[in-house]
Chains A and B, each alone.
Chain A
Amino acid sequence: MPSSTRGCAVPDITESGIAGPDTTADAVASSPLLAVRDLRVAFRTRAGVVNAVNGLSFSVAPGEVLGIVGESGSGKSVSMYSMMGLLDNPNATITGSARFDGAELIGMPTKRLNRIRGNRISMIFQDPMTALTPVYTVGWQIVEQIMNHEKVTKAEAWSRAVHLLDEVGIPDAERRARSYPHEFSGGMRQRVMIAMSLACHPSLLIADEPTTALDVTTQRQILELIGDLQAKYGSSVILITHDMGVISEAADRVIVMYAGRAVEMGDESTVVRRPRHPYTWGLLGAIPKPGQRKQRLPTIPGLPPGPRDQPTGCPFQKRCRFAMEQCSTLPPLIATGEEQNHLDACWLPDEVREELREEVA
């Protein structure tokens, strides 16, 4: 992301503060665009209840880029879908609250939700190959979105669609608007998705692993594009990924998720440079570092807990080298260090953390 974006976004965040489950939420100066409180999603399955999201709380300030990082299955997508009312699974139970601009999204009737979805909040997905309806031209699909939310003529909507396509860098947009999704490459389709998501100038863009399925060079293009557009329209962005590098380059603030919970939350630079949670340490440590060829990588032993075996207490305790007795009770997500907006959920005393982190790395 261009550094200018970063420059103007950072001050906002320092003011906005972070709300954990225990902090009384509205110690926030400028009210957040989205405030999620204790979000829980459970699926009833034949094999028992799967708790996919376990009390997730966070907020997004206007204009900021919030990165959510975590391993596969940590509940990143499910939490977003539940907010957006995209979980049509009848066996899913969603509790908690997600206030968007003052309106409660959880439990909102679909009719009302449809006025927000695609209009004020829009979303792009991981796999651009399947996210567009294959039987309609991309222009048609963008026009559909515009006309769904605004009273404009078809011609107007069409010219706006072409304009959008042009803006996301699709050459010869006028002609390409009449093409079908399969006629585009993956990167181009993701651009189309972005164009579509920006069609109604949303105040929040949720990007669920928008580049995972793409090549590095294309990933670079897309990240730049999101950055540029975010700067231009001033939307907030929730960027979901499992690539620390992407987070590090694109996000203002980071949430690290593990087993349906946020285990660490804070400014990008602090979280990446001075992570506080042992899981984050492991995560960062496991990434091969340039210039450290052929060295053994520090690993996190074991596997993330399966969806069915949710431990009581700290979900990470089984894999944690520093697990102690206290870990059998669930640690709260609070600021334990000196930085007030750097929260983590771990019982380790503040004093030993630095030391232990060095040990791990």
Chain B
Amino acid sequence: MVLRADNVVKTFALRGKQKGTVTAVDGVSIEVRSGETLGIVGESGCGKSTFGQCLTRLIDLTSGTVEFEGEDISSLSRRRLRPVRRRLQMVFQDPYSSLNPRMRVADIVAEPLRIHRTTDRRAIPDRVADLLERVGFDPSMAGRYPHEFSGGQRQRIGIARALALNPSVLVADEPVSALDVSVQAQVLNLLADLQDEFGLTYVFIAHDLGVVEHVSDRVAVMYLGDLVELADAEELYASPAHHYTEALLSAIPQIDRDGAPRRERIVLSGDVPSPANRPSGCPFHPRCPAATEICRKERPTLRTLGSRQVACHHPLPVPTTRVVTPTGQSQSVR
């Protein structure tokens, strides 16, 4: 267990004329095991990115704690965070806005090395060339500016930057969402290779359930700032316990390959409510086909159901046989 979030809450004050706050993440607890890939899925605005930024301390938490390699980093100052940053890196969603358009690629990749002075000044160009090669570039590209690269290439530059300091954990916020399938596959393969090579731990945030299924060992499903289900990927995709997870899975458009079974479709009514005015009780109840009175009133807590955890008053039945994943035993999570 390298990274552990305990009851993380993040609220934003609304700016301008409107008053009030948005609770983007509402008490999420999660443990990330060393060497695994933890997928986080959920619809737009459910707080995935915010949570990812809480994990990497890009933003301050409203409450709760984040522990990294046993150290509580949730209230460290920016200066004290610097050593942590070397081990805990982030890859961003938008390949267009995550690279400074006014810096050359070499500088972008060298930036972490310069900040942390881990590498001798003269050795930096070599290290940069190394990194670029590792993510599939000819080092001669180092003098170019980001605008000369395609989205996939940029994403790889972002990965090279994140890798520069040899981190142990990489939080990837929708690293492939902006990419075309052919390029997406390249990036996913690269991430897999790097994990194999360096034993990286990934927190992989995405809204494409297919991609998440493909890369993750365990998957967390978020809805309106809440963690609603957390399970081994295979188990979750095979038999979701939360109604929201079920609907989400059924909504994936599927290619009718020969012999592939189709999921039963569940068309949810209505939109995801705004986190600024969360429904009372279970946040999913207004759209839930199985909602009852209690769902309106009482907010379900995350409880363990077999090898998984789910926050639902009326969870779907799941097979009792536990699937043991290679990466570890089930752990109890508060």
**Do A and B contact each other directly (Cβ–Cβ < 8 Å)?**
yes
B152's nearest neighbour on chain A, judged by CB, is A303
Q: Is the CB of A219 within 8 A of B211?
A: no
Task: Please tell me which one of the listed residues A71, A185, A216 contacts residue B180 in the complex, with CB atoms under 8 A apart.
Answer: A71
Query: Which residues in B have their C-beta under 8 angstroms from that of A108?
Result: none
Task: Please tell me which one of the listed residues B43, B210, B256 contacts residue A287 in the complex, with CB atoms under 8 A apart.
Answer: B210
Tell me whether A336 is interfacial, beta carbon within 8 Å. no
How distant is the Cα of A332 from the Cα of B67 in the complex, in angstroms?
60
Query: Which residues in B have their C-beta under 8 angstroms from that of A304?
Result: 180, 182
User: How far apart are B249's CB and chain A's nearest CB, in angstroms?
Assistant: 9
Task: Please tell me which one of the listed residues A215, A243, A303 contacts residue B150 in the complex, with CB atoms under 8 A apart.
Answer: A303
How distant is the Cα of A294 from the Cα of B316 in the complex, in angstroms?
27
Q: Is the CB of A272 within 8 A of B257?
A: yes
Q: Is the CB of A217 within 8 A of B233?
A: no
User: How far apart are B239's CB and chain A's nearest CB, in angstroms?
Assistant: 13
How distant is the Cα of A224 from the Cα of B269 in the complex, in angstroms?
12
Residue count of chain A within 8 Å CB distance of chain B: 46
Query: Which residues in B have their C-beta under 8 angstroms from that of A217?
Result: 43, 247-248, 251, 267-268, 272
User: How far apart are A270's CB and chain B's nearest CB, in angstroms?
Assistant: 11
Task: Please tell me which one of the listed residues A249, A293, A299 contacts residue B234 in the complex, with CB atoms under 8 A apart.
Answer: A293
Query: Which residues in A have their C-beta under 8 angstroms from that of B248?
Result: 216-217
User: How far apart are A105's CB and chain B's nearest CB, in angstroms?
Assistant: 29
Query: Which residues in A have their C-beta under 8 angstroms from that of B252?
Result: 216, 245
Q: Is the CB of A216 within 8 A of B209?
A: yes
Query: Which residues in A have their C-beta under 8 angstroms from that of B213?
Result: 288, 290, 293
Which one of B7-15, B185-193, B289-297, B299-307 contacts A?
Answer: B185-193
How distant is the Cα of A250 from the Cα of B213 in the complex, in angstroms?
23
Tell me whether B114 is interfacial, beta carbon within 8 Å. no
Q: Is the CB of A303 within 8 A of B183?
A: yes
Task: Please tell me which one of the listed residues A72, A188, A216, A248 contacts residue B256 in the complex, with CB atoms under 8 A apart.
Answer: A248
- Given A217-B251, A242-B181, A283-B182, does the pair A294, B267 have CB atoms closer than 8 Å? no
Query: Which residues in A have their C-beta under 8 angstroms from that of B216?
Result: 293
Tell me whether A360 is interfacial, beta carbon within 8 Å. no
Query: Which residues in A have their C-beta under 8 angstroms from that of B268?
Result: 217, 220-221
User: How far apart are A114's CB and chain B's nearest CB, in angstroms?
Assistant: 34
- Given A244-B255, A284-B255, A288-B214, does the pair A72, B188 have CB atoms closer than 8 Å? no
Query: Which residues in A have their C-beta under 8 angstroms from that of B254?
Result: 245, 248-249
Tell me whether A30 is interfacial, beta carbon within 8 Å. no
- Given A244-B255, A288-B214, A297-B214, does the pair A215, B188 have CB atoms closer than 8 Å? no
Q: Is the CB of A294 within 8 A of B214?
A: yes
Tell me whether B116 is interfacial, beta carbon within 8 Å. no
- Given A188-B271, A296-B189, A299-B189, does the pair A71, B182 have CB atoms closer than 8 Å? yes
Q: Is the CB of A290 within 8 A of B237?
A: yes
A188's nearest neighbour on chain B, judged by CB, is B271
Task: Please tell me which one of the listed residues A285, A288, A298 contacts residue B210 in the complex, with CB atoms under 8 A apart.
Answer: A288
Query: Which residues in B have their C-beta under 8 angstroms from that of A218?
Result: 43, 271
Tell me whether A273 is interfacial, beta carbon within 8 Å. yes
Tell me whether B207 is interfacial, beta carbon within 8 Å. yes
User: How far apart are A319's CB and chain B's nearest CB, in angstroms?
Assistant: 8
Tell me whether A246 is interfacial, beta carbon within 8 Å. yes
B186's nearest neighbour on chain A, judged by CB, is A299
Tell me whether B260 is interfacial, beta carbon within 8 Å. yes
Task: Please tell me which one of the listed residues A244, A248, A298 contacts residue B185 in the complex, with CB atoms under 8 A apart.
Answer: A298
Q: Is the CB of A216 within 8 A of B43?
A: yes
Tell me whether A286 is interfacial, beta carbon within 8 Å. yes
Contact with B along A46-60 (1 / 0, CB 8 A): 000000000000000
Contact with B along A216-232 (1 / 0, CB 8 A): 11111101100000000
Q: Is the CB of B214 within 8 A of A293?
A: yes
Tell me whether B44 is interfacial, beta carbon within 8 Å. yes
User: How far apart are B282's CB and chain A's nearest CB, in angstroms?
Assistant: 17
Query: Which residues in B have their C-beta under 8 angstroms from that of A216?
Result: 43, 207, 209, 248, 251-252
Query: Which residues in A have their C-beta under 8 angstroms from that of B250?
Result: 220
How distant is the Cα of A293 from the Cα of B44 in the complex, in angstroms?
24
How distant is the Cα of A292 from the Cα of B186 in the complex, in angstroms?
16
Give residues 182-233 of A contacting B (CB, 8 Å): 185-188, 215-221, 223-224
Contact with A along B42-68 (1 / 0, CB 8 A): 011000000000000000000000000
Tell me whether A300 is interfacial, beta carbon within 8 Å. yes
Task: Please tell me which one of the listed residues A242, A282, A290 contacts residue B260 in the complex, with CB atoms under 8 A apart.
Answer: A290
Tell me whether A269 is interfacial, beta carbon within 8 Å. yes
Query: Which residues in A have their C-beta under 8 angstroms from that of B215?
Result: 288, 293-294
A284's nearest neighbour on chain B, judged by CB, is B255
- Given A215-B207, A242-B180, A288-B210, does the pair A299, B185 have CB atoms closer than 8 Å? yes
Give residues 231-271 of B contacting A (CB, 8 Å): 233-234, 237, 247-248, 250-258, 260, 265, 267-268, 271
How distant is the Cα of A287 from the Cα of B183 in the complex, in angstroms?
10
How distant is the Cα of A292 from the Cα of B234 in the complex, in angstroms?
10
How distant is the Cα of A299 from the Cα of B136 in the complex, in angstroms?
14
Query: Which residues in B have their C-beta under 8 angstroms from that of A269?
Result: 256
Q: What would 11 more interface pairs be, CB under 8 Å, given A72-B151, A217-B43?
A: A186-B271, A217-B251, A218-B271, A224-B267, A246-B253, A272-B257, A273-B256, A290-B210, A290-B213, A295-B214, A300-B185
